[in-house]
Amino acid sequence: KNQVEQSPQSLIILEGKNCTLQCNYTVSPFSNLRWYKQDTGRGPVSLTIMTFSENTKSNGRYTATLDADTKQSSLHITASQLSDSASYICVVSDRGSTLGRLYFGRGTQLTVWP
Amino acid sequence: EADIYQTPRYLVIGTGKKITLECSQTMGHDKMYWYQQDPGMELHLIHYSYGVNSTEKGDLSSESTVSRIRTEHFPLTLESARPSHTSQYLCASRGAEETQYFGPGTRLLVL
């Protein structure tokens, strides 16, 4: 069964600190993995997208890693800011259909305190 | 910021009413999607469309219906709203590249 599991479910950190969010998946055949940021009451916004051959991709203070062998990904946030408070969703796409089927994790709810 | 819009943003309505959630995008994307998301839960695909006059049901069974008469417009309709339909509804579109662009969502509360 294709699944995406994220941990932790929620996380509280102080402003300026770093944090790492985890994503494990069983989706096969794998196409790509995205991290989305979803602010409360808004739709998800794409942060990074990685294909099978990519190990690391950065977008400002966000750095995503992918280990396709162990089917794990992480999102590292550096020097957190209050505006980083949001839900971070790991989304994996399979390449077995023309739909480009997406499998969503439940997200990690990050809260950054001043 | 993606050019995909949803209205209304919030809707409180009584049981049995007919409602239509609007979704439009100005990017010319062929593929469009409707997702349902409950608090703290993952997004579930309820409808999708490959293009004009193409609509399919997604993974999550839904009593809603959709139509795709124009490329830019993908409305979702509930003929008779029930409290179990209370949720957040997210519309998305996808162009030639892989990324799906999401609208801001509609939060629906059925009393």
Contact B41 A106 (CB under 8 A): yes
pLDDT for B108: 96
Whether B103 contacts chain A with CB within 8 A:
yes
Contact at 8 Å (CB) between B86 and B109?
A: yes
Q: Are A90 and A73 in contact (CB under 8 A)?
A: yes
| pLDDT tens track for A43-97 | 999 999 898 888 999 999 999 999 999 999 999 999 999 999 999 999 998 876 5
Distance CA A82, CA A71 (A): 30
Three-class SS state of B36: strand
Nearest CA in chain A to B103: A43
Taking an 8 Å cut-off on Cβ atoms, the answer to whether B42 and A4 are in contact is: yes
Query: What is residue A99's predicted lDDT score, i.e. its pLDDT?
Result: 60
Strands A62-67 and A72-77, how do they pair?
antiparallel
A-chain residue closest to B48, CA distance: A99
Give the best residue of B100, B107, B108 to mutate against chain A (max A CB count within 10 A): B100
CB contact under 8 A, B42 and A109: no
Is pLDDT above 60 for B24?
yes
